[in-house]
Chains A and B, each alone.
Chain A
Amino acid sequence: MSRPVFGAGRVGVAELVAPIALLALLLGTATGAEPASRPVSWVDGAPSDARALQLLERASQAPATVAYHGVQFVSAWSERGSTSLVVEVDHRPGRGTTVHTAATTENPAADTFLPADGTEPSVIGGATALQRLDRNYTIVLAGQRWVSGRTADLVEARWPGSDHPAARFWLDAATGLVLRREVYDEQGRTTRASAFVEIVVGQPTDVQASSVQAMPQAWSETVDYSDRAAMEKQGWHCPDRLPGALDMVDARRGGGAGRPILHLSYSNGLATVSLFEQRGRLDAANLDGYRRQEADGPAVYVRDGMPQRVVWSAQGTVFTLVADAPASTVDQVVAALPHDPVEDGGGWHRLGRGFERVASWFNPFG
């Protein structure tokens, strides 16, 4: 597969890695101050700013009419580590977005094409992403800033009942494009950020989108409400809502007839969570890249990153959680889903279970 060729004469990715990495490091350092714990109460907060909502609505529609290309960094932080990537982006309205990632010591180079006709949420009657964002957060306009040499309106999505932002969007004043975005956890720490360090608007490049492999579409078999009700009777777990004000927005089935996989998607307008369910028990011995975590709860297997992955099995079902959400929200979601009782709550627990089992051997009615 040939590598897409971006506009000649501009600054290359390799030359931008060092300053971008420095910028990401400074950003991470600046947000690494000791946080103040603020538990989130998902109640109606202050009303959103109408002007801020208009700007977000405009931003959500801008990719449908505005072409752009540029270089941006993508970074993520957590208590377990941090990582960054530099990508080249080329977007064409009506066609889609091509993203080129340069090779690093961790990953090979990759080109991905995201079609413009993305997957539509399958849950009928659900709110739009912007409506969920407005319902769960307080949207305010926080002034104007400069991003990559362009004037941008800064819009904040604040935690309910708080003045602290859960996310910030820098929206291009001229086109409405999202030039920079940052997402924070409840303690105010940056968990994810992406920003253009160079952007050219309205000039298509010579990237041959057709030569880039398109990202596969979502599984085609949707699962409607009646299907979910029938599946729940068969032991599948299909909650309409998860902690963190996460509402079900999509339900699909994949994996084929031999190994069906149920995929439930949740969102609160900012965080997104995918819950996958498969019948069986987790083959934990062959999990690669996961760490076992059992502090303060049942044992699960976690792969740190963005999105974060948590895998476990309970009641004959293997659950895989793929979460683009704050760690505390992920913990709440994991705790709210089925788990088998803690197996070895100590020797007494095991002895008690053993006595019950031995007694059942001699119970003629058992």
Chain B
Amino acid sequence: MIRPDHLGQRISALVDGELGHQERDRALAHIAHCPSCRAALEDERLVKDRIASAPIPPASPALTARLLGLAQPGDPMPPRERRMPLAPVVPTLPAPGRRRGATRPGDRDDPRRPGRLRATPLRSRRARYAAVTAVSAVGLMLGTAFLAGAAPQQPGAPVLPPSAELSVEHAATTSGQPLGDPAFDAVTASYGGLYFAPRATGR
């Protein structure tokens, strides 16, 4: 259990140099006569030094490819949700000495504001997931419909008309008719008719 008068978590701030001037003096005075806090300070510095001196492991090729892929142009982003103002927007002048559009540390639009850099990629990633999911769903629906929409096969057994028999039957019903052409009827019965040799022009 840490005594209330010990440094506790201020040891990390002391190592990182984040304590103010007076706070730093009080912490150092306490360490001078407190063996436990001195030991804790030594441990903290040792851990930090080891972390700082540890080699950076190389990124895996897959991770590199994914990271590079994030920079590639992708699907259009969904439109940003914008709240409609309840009151008419009144244009305001920037404060004196401040350029239009400039931000101060801690402002809502300040890109250095904590959480800003993490929140924007998260929304982008979610939007990307939503877009990919939607496109996949639409593709699946269209693919299913395309496959299901194949032309139905006609009913019945396959039939190959008996060409020679039908030719004779046709000639038999026209043969002997008034003004008929016996020679043509005979050719139809014998050969199925006069078949054309295709023209050389390919018409």
In the complex, 13 of the A-B residue pairs with CB atoms within 8 angstroms, ordered by the A residue number, are A59-B179, A75-B194, A80-B199, A82-B196, A85-B194, A91-B182, A99-B187, A110-B191, A215-B171, A254-B169, A263-B166, A276-B169, A340-B154
Cβ-closest chain B residue relative to A195: B183
Q: A215-B175, A279-B156, A282-B159 are in contact. List 9 more A-B contacts (CB 8 A).
A: A74-B194, A194-B183, A194-B184, A272-B170, A280-B156, A281-B159, A305-B194, A307-B193, A322-B166
Q: Quick check: A181 and B181 within 8 Å, CB to CB?
A: yes
* Cβ A169 vs Cβ B172 within 8 A: no
Contact B184 A287 (CB under 8 A): no
Q: Contacting chain B: which of A4-12, A38-46, A113-121, A224-232?
A: A113-121
A316 & B155 in contact (Cβ 8 Å cutoff): yes
Residues A115-144 near B (CB distance < 8 A) = 115-119, 121, 128-130, 133
What total of A-B pairs shows CB separation below 8 Å?
223
Contact A114 B175 (CB under 8 A): yes
B37 within 8 A of A: no
A218 in the interface (beta carbon within 8 A): yes
Interface size on B, residues (CB 8 A): 56
Residues on B facing A (Cβ under 8 Å): 142, 144-151, 153-163, 165-199, 203
Tell me how far the C-beta of B58 lies from the nearest C-beta in chain A, rounded to whole angstroms. 49
* Structural contact, B178 and A60, CB atoms closer than 8 A: yes
Seen from chain A, the residues whose Cβ lies within 8 Å of a Cβ on chain B are 56, 59-61, 72, 74-76, 78-85, 87, 89, 91, 97, 99, 101, 106-107, 110, 112, 114-119, 121, 128-130, 133, 169, 178, 181, 192, 194, 215-219, 250, 252, 254-255, 259, 261, 263, 265, 272, 274, 276, 278-283, 286-287, 289, 303-307, 309, 311, 313-314, 316, 318, 320, 322, 324, 340, 343-344, 347, 349-355, 357-358
Contact between A281 and B155, CB atoms less than 8 A apart: yes
Which A residues are CB-close (under 8 A) to B163? 309
Contact of B197 among A82, A130, A322 (CB under 8 A): A82
Partner of B161, one of A110, A252, A278, A344: A278
Given the complex of chains A and B, what is the CA–CA distance between A304 and B167 in angstroms? 14
A305 touches B195 (CB 8 A): yes
Residue contact B197 to A118, C-beta cutoff 8 Å:
no
Write out the residue numbers on chain B whose beta carbons fall within 8 Å of the beta carbon of A351: 142, 145-146, 149
